Amino acid sequence: MKRRLNRPARWAAALAIVLAWWLAAALWPCPPAWAGAGFRSVDLAVGGVKVNVKPGGVLAIHPDTPFRVLKVHSDQWLGSSIRLRLAIRPEVDLSRYHSLSQLLGDKVWDVKELVIQARKNDRVLGTITLVPHWLPIDYLRKAEACKSLTDKIRFTQRALRQSPDDRLLLLRLVDLLTQAKQYRRAADLLEDAARQGDDPHLLTRLAELYEKLGQKERTVAALSKLVAERPKDVVLIERLARLNEELKRWSAAARLWERLRRSLPPGQHTAVLLRLSRALAKAGQGEQSRLVLEAAAKARPWDIELWKALAQARAAAGDRAGALRALVKAAAQKPADRSLQLALSDAYLAAGDQAKAAQHLARAADLGPEDYTVLLRLANLYQELGHRRELSRVYRRLAALKPDNPELSFNLGVLLLEADQPAAALNYLQAAAEHKPKDRETRLLLFDALSRLGRWQEAVAVIKKLYQDDPKDLSPINRAYPVLSEHRPQVMAELLDRALEDHPKAVKLYQLRAALALAQDQPSQAAELLQRGLKQAPHNLEMLRSLALIQESQGQRDQALETLGRILDLAPGDEKVQERYLRLRTSGLAGSRENEKTP
């Protein structure tokens, strides 16, 4: 017979089983499979609406919508001990209303999910997941509020992902990417959208992006589609024509310019005709290019640009005379056009008319008085023409533009000396000497200017300094002799004596010094100097002739005969010397006969 436990014993056994289960649940390292079987679902109040979510369930919720836990459902009698809490913030009381924005702050924009754990005795019985669900308008508002361009792009992209067919959103993102210079990404977006249809607006934006990326071929393709859609859009046609020019597709460019010419009113033809002519010329249709300009210039004779272009076309065709006529007509319309005056100068110069070339170059210089290069060209022309007065005026203008240019000051000084204006020349030569104090030619010209002005002390100082700086150079002595021998003979004599000490073999110095002695009425000294010179150059006929004359003038017959004999030995065919020799010899014989008759 089976034995039954009394009531106290049965209660004790039940209590022992419960305690054993509780201890097993508390101490077991991993909860058994049946440990969470009692968690069935949870009731949430979301914006005032009751929502039931089962374990493992996912609930999409707007981050600004308030929610709280209403009730946990369990099939266990101890289900009341199950608690719900946030995995990342367990301290939050979920029985009160919260929103994801409140719980996460600004991080809510980047959090993908929020996990709520159902726990009992520190064990997870199950989870439910809340997923932030933003609307496109939320992302757009966030993008507007961001200061960073990168963040604006990021949130606008999210909005577009939720509304991929929203064209305004697409263009907004393209604008932001373009602003960030992310042209490739922007172009990729537009390419995807454009594949669905040739939307002119998208093609226009796409062409702009291709241009920024330097993809001219793709730009042409996009614009060509647009031109097919908008055949009367003159702005679009011009843009495509210019792009073809950049790609050197001259024939295509010419066709587009011709198409544009037909679409424009007559008053706007000039620029298009010029581009058309250029494209034709580049495409190898030079004659057609010229004919276009001929017709245009004939129809619009007042249009300077057409005449200028026609002049170039005629010149390219070898018609220099025709090019010159076109430039003359252009200049007649606008004589103050400096570029035309320069072109005319070049044309006349090419035609060999230097005078006309100088005339138009002078006008160009007057229209641009600060242009240094034009004035230099004009100076060269005047120099070739020999127009010294005009050349002097040009050099004055050049010197005013470049007061620190020693070459200009020097040239102007030379011209003013040639024009017999020593006072003006002196100013420029002094300026040149200040910048180039060791330039000997400048200082020689200074001597010329000072001597012409009668400022002898300064002139002599210049020559002495020149010789002192380089005693081997005798050019200062030779330069000074004609002037100083006349006006300051004693100073010249001193200079020559010093030079003879330094250059005892310089025959020319003996001749100059002897000539100066004669000018000072010192024939004996002159003869002595010539004899010294003949020791250095015994065969110098010039000095021998000078010495013979002095000897004759001094009554030194025998010495003169000897000197004349030396000349005849060197130049026996010199009839004048022979005559002088015989005359002197005969006069000597006659004198001796008379002496014999005298008792």
Q: Is it the case that residue 217 has pLDDT exceeding 80?
A: yes
Q: How far apart are CA 108 and CA 21, in angstroms?
A: 42
The model's pLDDT over 68-95, given as tens digits with 9 standing for 90+, comes to: 999 888 876 544 578 889 988 899 999 8
Low-confidence winner among 297-306, 414-423, 486-495, 550-559 (lowest mean pLDDT): 297-306
pLDDT value at residue 496: 93
* Cβ contact 251:229 at 8 Å: no
Q: Rounded to 10 degrees, what is the CA torsion of 19, 21, 26, 28?
A: 140
C-alpha closest to that of 121 among 20, 19, 31: 31
Share of the chain above pLDDT 70, in %: 90
426-481 pLDDT tens trace:
988 898 888 888 899 999 999 999 999 999 999 999 999 999 999 999 999 999 99
Higher pLDDT, 267 or 12: 267
Name the nearest CA neighbour of 305 among 282, 273, 262, 338.
Answer: 273
Question: 387 to each of 250, 319, 360, 394, 418, how far by Cα in Å?
Answer: 48, 31, 15, 11, 12
Which residue is listed with tokens 């005359």? 583
Q: What's the pLDDT band for 19 if we cut at 50, 70, 90?
A: very low
Q: Measure the CA–CA gap between 185 and 150, rounded to whole angstroms.
A: 13
Asked whether the predicted pLDDT for residue 271 surpasses 70, the reply is: yes
Other CB atoms within 10 A of residue 26 CB:
10
pLDDT at position 546 is 92
For residue 328, what pLDDT band results from cuts at 50, 70 and 90? confident
**Nearest by Cα to 204 from 245, 253, 171:** 171
Query: What is the pLDDT averaged over residues 404-429?
Result: 85
Phi, psi of 348 (to 5 degrees): -65, -35
In angstroms, the CA 12 to CA 141 distance is 67
Please spell the DSSP secondary structure of 16-76, one letter per residue: HHHHHHHHHHHH-SS--TTTTTTEEEEEEEETTEEEEE-TT-EEEE-TTS-EEEEEEEESS
pTM of the model: 0.47
- Indicate the average pLDDT of the chain: 83
Query: Residues 133-169: pLDDT tens digits?
Result: 999 999 899 899 999 999 999 989 898 888 888 888 8
| Cβ partners under 8 Å of residue 218, min gap 6 | 210
**Cβ(537)–Cβ(509) below 8 Å:** no
Q: What is the pLDDT of residue 538?
A: 92
